[in-house]
Amino acid sequence: MLSRVIAIRRRAAAAFSTVSAKTETGLYGFDVLRTAKGFRRFVDDAIQRSDELVAYVARLPPSAEIIRAMDEISNTVCLVIDSAELCRNTHPDRDFVEEADKASMRIYEHLHYLNTNTTLYNAILKAEVESVLLTEEAQRAATTLRVDFEKGGIHLPKDKLEHANQLNIEVAQLGRKFNENVMNKPGFVDLYPASRIPRNMQHHFKPVYRFEKQSNQINTARQKGIRIVTDSGNLSSALRCISDEEVRKQVYIVGNSEPRENIGVLNELIDARYEFAKTMGCKSYADFAIRPNMAASADVVMSFLRDLSNIVRHKADEEFKMIQDFKKRICNEKSADLEPWDEDYFIGMMKSSVHNLDVSVVAKYFPLSQCLKGLNVLVESLFGATFRQIPMRDGESWHPDVIKLSLHHPDEGDLGFMYLDLYSRKGKYPGCAHFAIQGGRRLSDSTYQLPIIALVCNFSSSSGITARLSHGDVETLFHEFGHALHSLLSRTEYQHFSGTRVALDVAETPSNLFECYAWDYRVLKTFAVDETTGDAIPEKLVKALNASRNMFPATELQRQIFYSIMDLTLFGEQASKPMDTISTVANLKREHTSWKYAEGTHWHTRFTHLINYGAGYYSYLYARCFATTIWQEVCQEDPLSRSTGTALRDKFLRYGGSKDPSSLLKDFLGDAIIRNSGAGIIPDIGSLCKDIGL
């Protein structure tokens, strides 16, 4: 079995050409990280270097050199922050994880000191005011840095600044606690007998046993059951695949009622963010968070979301009735109600029955090695570049599964580096994500600091057939690859603007755009191949996948609107303290979706976007509007052409966050892609409505 798994992983690595070079180093190529305790020195060195740069800035007259030195400080600190974050989420060695955790806390303390350093703030003010910045990017960098300082309250009177500092620390601690509870307290359901779970699913879950009295009340028998730990992955699988409605109900209710501890944590977080926003002179945390973005205010976003909710409601209600009627036919019950735990199961059943989709048949065209070749197809066709596998130096990798690639262009040389950590393992970050390690920046006229990132996924590799992806996995891979390309292809003067370091409104645009590539037959046929026969995926099957996807588009959009409104409401103006978040979320679901709310549940207490994207979840919908427009107007006609790739790279990806996002979008696609709304900007929804048939 082990040899089969190793062979699969070797085939995945073989998707790329290789170059050779091998010497000793530390984690991610940083010599200082040869051991776990190297994180201590990493932080010490960063603090020393940034202190030297602070002293240097203090001696400078107003000039562009202030911006360059500030970016050097940012680069120094971000190397530690980003490396520690990746290590905390992926390293199998607990010593490394614990040291990275300590390093993260120490460097954030130092970052707090830097963000409240009046020497740096005053230097930025002078450089911005005295018009010594000659380039548009330098001017934008100065403005962005000033705004970042002021987000921490540096411009406030001393007593208010100290209060804001304490609240910032409290918010960070509560966010960490919320996320830890989600990871460590997922909840579980024990189900007896085991036969209530489909046999082909039982190996995913843990067997449990109990002793039951026989009918004679004397003898006992050992009965096997199944324990479903209701983390997000297991919950999704169970709700999609288990036919027993009572089991689905149990799993849904438990899975959406944990961790209970986060009810209190979230209340404290809401109060702390609200108090912080009031200290900063804003009427709500949502206004504080959105103010620097294109949207400019929570009112602008809420108006956009409510309008979109009204537009989609009729079609979503029609889709709900279709699902309800289907359940009545399947269950042969004319009065059968549609419950929240029915959604994934009956939608999946309807899609399969209408379009005759067998997930195992679909997956055979997506062996992981071929999907990785698909990434190569994209960069070669669009940008004339290729991925090359680079043997890592001793100490550089954190797990034997990890491979390192360079994105290489025949004329430009290496454009950046990407680690791939693709397989699931215990203790690893549970989802798929793009992690920055080093941002790109201009070092001199002839030298550029190349970006380094990691693409982390959790694909199964437990047997000889499980290195095949579902089409949903392929879409997720392409989504994260969109983020990766944003990082690898940006060419900014300052690392502060590198890749995904952009206004929140547009951050998810490249990832949403590359999801579109995962649905296009012209793209899929270049790499989606049955390895046993060599046959490319049939066009008929891709059409069926797309038809299946388009069966309930309003239901999915309605869900995203609800999430966004919920996020904005929880961090909006507070009428009472503490807020009853359970009833608030229940009422919003009833108002903005066609589905019931399961009484007593509180799924939002495991919705980690409330921590990482607080009052910012709406940006997914903004990005989807932008990405859909880019796809329809730039990519759809010939998605793999070099001209398409040149337009994407030269007019969008290369700028990272160095250009005002509204100007970036208008220069790329014309004025119609965005619209003014009050004091802010909203996306045009025409392409999105067309995409979902509205």
Q: Mind telling me the catalytic residues?
A: 480
Pairing state between β 17-18 and 206-213: unpaired
| Under 8 Å between Cβ of 141 and 71 | yes
Using CA atoms, how far residue 418 sits from 414, 421, 487, in Å, is 11, 10, 10
Q: In this structure, what token pair is assigned to residue 103?
A: 């390093």
| Under 8 Å between Cβ of 614 and 293 | no
DSSP codes joined into one string, 311-340: HHHHHHHHHHHHHHHHHHHHHT-TTPPP-G
Element (H, E) at 419: strand 413-423
Please enumerate in sequence order all residues whose Cβ is within 8 A of that of 637, keeping only pairs 6 or more positions apart, or say none. none
What type of residue sits at position 296?
Answer: A
Q: How far apart are CA 69 and CA 50, in angstroms?
A: 9
Q: How far apart are CA 15 and CA 382, in angstroms?
A: 18
3-class secondary structure, 596? coil
DSSP codes joined into one string, 557-589: HHHHHHHHHHHHHHTS--SSSS--HHHHHHHHH
Q: In this structure, what token pair is assigned to residue 418?
A: 């990407």
Q: Which residue has the tokens 């070749």?
A: 373
Q: Which residue has the tokens 């986060």?
A: 262
Query: DSSP E strands: which ranges in 427-513?
Result: 433-438, 441-442, 448-449, 452-459
Q: Comparing C-alpha atoms, which of 273, 321, 227 is closest to residue 570?
A: 273
Using CA atoms, how far residue 79 sits from 23, 86, 378, 694, in Å, is 22, 11, 29, 45
* Cβ burial 450-483 (10 Å sphere, 16+ → b, else e): bbbbbbbbbbebeeeebbbbebebbbbbbbbbbb
Number of neighbouring beta carbons within 10 Å of residue 249: 16
Q: What Rg do the C-alpha atoms of the chain give, in angstroms?
A: 26
Q: How far apart are CA 303 and CA 305, in angstroms?
A: 5
Q: How far apart are CA 324 and CA 339, in angstroms?
A: 9
Burial zone of 671 (CB within 10 Å; 0-12 exposed, 13-18 middle, 19+ buried): exposed
Q: Which residue has the tokens 């026969």?
A: 533
SS3 string of 197-247? CCHHHHCCCEEEEEEEECCCCCCEEEEEEEEEECCHHHHHHHHHHCCCHHH
Please enumerate in sequence order all residues whose Cβ is within 8 A of that of 76, keeping only pairs 6 or more positions apart, or say none. 46, 49, 50, 53
Q: How far apart are CA 431 and CA 679, in angstroms?
A: 37
Using CA atoms, how far residue 429 sits from 87, 180, 510, 652, in Å, is 10, 12, 22, 30
Output phi, psi for 675, to 5 deg. Answer: -135, 145
Q: How far apart are CA 54 and CA 50, in angstroms?
A: 6
What type of residue sits at position 60?
Answer: L
Q: Comparing C-alpha atoms, which of 474, 527, 517, 504 is closest to residue 616?
A: 504
